Amino acid sequence: MELGIGMFGDVAWDVKTGKYRDVGTKLNEILEQVKLMDQVGIDVFAMGEHHREDYAVSSPEILLAAAASVTKNIKLASGVTVLSSSEPVKVYEDFSMIDLISKGRAEIFVGRGSFIESFPLYGYDLSDYNQLFEEKLDLLLKINKEENLSWSGKLRAPMQNQTVYPRAYQNRPLPIWVAVGGTPESVLRAAKLGLPLILAIIGGMPRQFKTLIEFYKQEYMRAGHEKSKMQIATHSHTFVSDDPKVIDQYFYTYKSQMDRIGRSRGWAPYSKEQYEGGRSKDGALFMGSANEVADKISEMKELFGLTRFIGHMDVGDPAHDGMMKSIELFGEKVAPIVK
């Protein structure tokens, strides 16, 4: 069982200045946090991609390359690469370089994107949302296997006897995970291709997703893939503190980001009742003491047969010292209990 930490690079709104806080400061804080993750034995760091004023990271590859130079053991993944609006050749080239710098620690989590700002920004038509992902995933997988390739699709120019360099560390295939938000079609695609699955569970009760994960397992085996190579992960909002007051106060940080996103999606204001419900034994928020978080992860592992759990730890942009303490507890107390 691997334990990881994911981030989106949230940038908090400063009510005193009437501006979002400095992005450069946030990026350097993230690098300090990743260094600590490596030191306390976290297995994976996953960095998300957004193209909004309230998120600091539009290019996970740049951040991960910087992290590769200051870490030794932790795996470095995108969380996620919005593949539908990305160029697969460039995605492979960027991650192969990260893999070479880190000596084999790069991974790619690919998704269709629950935030859609990148589509108009890069000139893509949202009506092609599904087909873009299917075609680009097909091309990325082919590049990952073949140094010299030919490929054709409907939404991108064909490739004829072309090569893609540099190749990943020791010419290995890069690990490519499919990240999904809960649609059966996405789960089925990952299963048929024999790709590792990472499922975002950020609301409701995790137990509700058991049927979906069992569907993945069933279709994975039906497609003829080796059971020993099956990998399943979940990704949930997480924050660790052994001080109940810190967890109670984190509600306001968490609410600020949930409400900011919710305003554009028609959600009702986030409530304390939702927060406490999510933190309960059956809820989807992994926020509490080290023992509480460890127990919930262990239950998820047993429920789903997980091989990896990613705790998304920077929702709302908690203070740097609070993040550092949460990471320390996750690595030094939560991980040993779970493992």
pLDDT, tens digit, for every residue of 120-152?
A: 999 999 899 999 999 999 999 999 999 999 999
**pLDDT computed for residue 41 by the predictor:** 98
C-alpha–C-alpha distance, residues 338 and 325, integer Å: 18
**pLDDT computed for residue 67 by the predictor:** 98
Quickly tell me which residue has 């509490």 as its tokens. Answer: 288
Kindly compute the dihedral angle of the four CA atoms of residues 283, 288, 294, 299, in this order, to the nearest 10 degrees: -10
**pLDDT computed for residue 255 by the predictor:** 97
**pLDDT computed for residue 49 by the predictor:** 96
Beta-carbon-side half-sphere exposure of residue 177 (alpha carbons within 13 Å): 27
According to CATH, what is the number of the domain 2-338?
3.20.20.30
Measured CA distances, 321 to 6, 33, 298 (Å): 17, 10, 27
**Which stretches in the chain have pLDDT values below 70?**
none
pTM exceeding 0.85: yes
**pLDDT computed for residue 139 by the predictor:** 98
C-alpha–C-alpha distance, residues 213 and 233, integer Å: 10
Note the Cα 182 to chain centre separation in Å: 14
Overall size of the chain counted in residues: 339
**pLDDT computed for residue 200 by the predictor:** 96
Quickly tell me which residue has 């699709």 as its tokens. Answer: 153
List of residues 6+ apart from 147 with CB closer than 8 A:
163, 164, 165, 167
C-alpha–C-alpha distance, residues 262 and 268, integer Å: 7
**pLDDT computed for residue 99 by the predictor:** 98
**pLDDT computed for residue 115 by the predictor:** 85
**pLDDT computed for residue 264 by the predictor:** 84
Residue 10 is classified by DSSP as B
**pLDDT computed for residue 4 by the predictor:** 98
**pLDDT computed for residue 33 by the predictor:** 98
Closest CA to 117 of 69, 49, 29: 49
